[in-house]
Structure 1
Amino acid sequence: MNSIALLPHSKHILPGGRLKLVISRVCDIRMVTEAMAHNHLFALGMIAPNSSPETVTNIPAIATMVTIVDFNTRDDGLLEIMVEGTDKISVSTLTMAYDNLLTAVYEPFHAWPTIAINANSQMLANKLNLLFASLPEINECYHDTNYNNATWVCQRWLEILPIDIKHKQSLIHHPTAETAIHFLLQLLQDHNLINN
């Protein structure tokens, strides 16, 4: 039986993604401290933007294991960490410790294989590149990008778009990124963003 500390968060991450998190709750500080001291991973679970981590009793089934790649103390004294998504996991049960830290029992979940960018998906890569360039707070997270990999591009779109969590979960349940790529292309086309 595998278990891992789990942080419910309204910012979403998938394998290959990077995210800055501000750590303020006592239980989350404990989680980060233990992860850094023992070189452990923890997991991020998807919750809606208006949800409070303190009230979470269950999360969607698919979460993402993350590793801490950087950290610093902000001017206000809070801890800021940069995490990188490594693997998807399927969460079966959650338990809550005395300080509200969640622990998840999980099984590994299949990774999406690499899909090369082609003529159809090139627009997703181009638009993501432009979007990242316009958002320094996201762009600075990535020293290395992979715009030739449609799977990587697709996962970055799924992280940042305000799509309902149930829809995101449905897309990432698929064995490859193909369904999500088609969905994203249709979404951009519906919003007249394909040729803009």
Structure 2
Amino acid sequence: MNTIALLPHNEHLLPEGRLKLVISRICDMRMVTEAITNNQPFALGMIANKSSPETVTSIPAIATTAAIIDFNALNSGLLEIVVEGINKISISTLTMAHDKLLTATYQRSHNWPTIKINTNNKLLADKLKLLFISIPEISQYYPQPNYQNATWVCQRWLEILPIDIKHKQSLIHHQTADITISFLLQLLQNHNLINN
């Protein structure tokens, strides 16, 4: 069984996604230092907005391995890192070290295959473009966004939208993005975001 350091976080990351994180806990500093030194990924696990990493003893089954692509020491003594999602993994057990760093045993999970944007799902890409234009702090991490890939588009939506974690986990557990495409189209239509 494989093991990996795990960071519970209420910002969610899926394969090919990018995210800026501010690292403050000593145990997470250790995790980041080891990841940079050994050129190895760690895992990011989904937790709810109201949850605190200090109190997490379990997380949803599907997490994402993440590579550090940039880092910066802040004047406050904290560390700012930018990570990129690599692979989905299925968490089996969690172990907490003396400094509260979590380690997970896991198995590799299948990443979604590419689905080309077509006339039926193009609205998802068009609306994501508009959203990225309105939120430059997110779009700056995607100098070459893959708007032709419905899988990539769906994963970015799932990272951004405030959907219940159980629902997100149910969607990403599927073998392809097809169910998520249908769900997102219905969600955006119900909230009048498609035609506005």
TM-score (structure 2 length as normaliser): 0.99
**Equivalence for 1:170:** 170
Q: Secondary structure at the match of 1:151?
A: helix
C-alpha distance in 1, partners of 2:85/2:9? 13
Count how many residue pairs are aligned between Structure 1 and Structure 2.
Answer: 196
**Equivalence for 2:19:** 19
Write out per-residue CA displacement over residues 88-135 of structure 1, whole angstroms, 9 at most, x where no aligned residue.
000000000000000000000011000000001111001001101111
Aligned counterparts, 1:184-195, within 5 A: 184-195=184-195
TM-score (structure 1 length as normaliser): 0.99
Give identity over the alignment, percent: 71
Once the 2 structures are TM-superposed, how far is the Cα of residue 30 of structure 1 from its aligned partner?
0.1
Aligned counterparts, 1:120-139, within 5 A: 120-139=120-139
Q: Unaligned regions of 5+ residues in structure 2, if any?
A: none
RMSD, aligned α-carbons:
0.6
Once the 2 structures are TM-superposed, how far is the Cα of residue 76 of structure 1 from its aligned partner?
2.3
C-alpha distance in 1, partners of 2:78/2:143? 24
Q: Secondary structure at the match of 1:131?
A: helix
**Equivalence for 1:148:** 148
C-alpha distance in 2, partners of 1:27/1:142? 29
Q: What letter is aligned with 2:99?
A: D
Q: Secondary structure at the match of 1:58?
A: coil
C-alpha distance in 1, partners of 2:92/2:144? 33
Write out per-residue CA displacement over residues 31-61 of structure 1, whole angstroms, 9 at most, x where no aligned residue.
0000000001000000000100010000000
Q: Secondary structure at the match of 1:95?
A: strand
Once the 2 structures are TM-superposed, how far is the Cα of residue 75 of structure 1 from its aligned partner?
3.2
C-alpha distance in 2, partners of 1:53/1:5? 13
Once the 2 structures are TM-superposed, how far is the Cα of residue 3 of structure 1 from its aligned partner?
0.2
**Equivalence for 2:75:** 75
Q: Unaligned regions of 5+ residues in structure 1, if any?
A: none
Q: Secondary structure at the match of 2:168?
A: helix
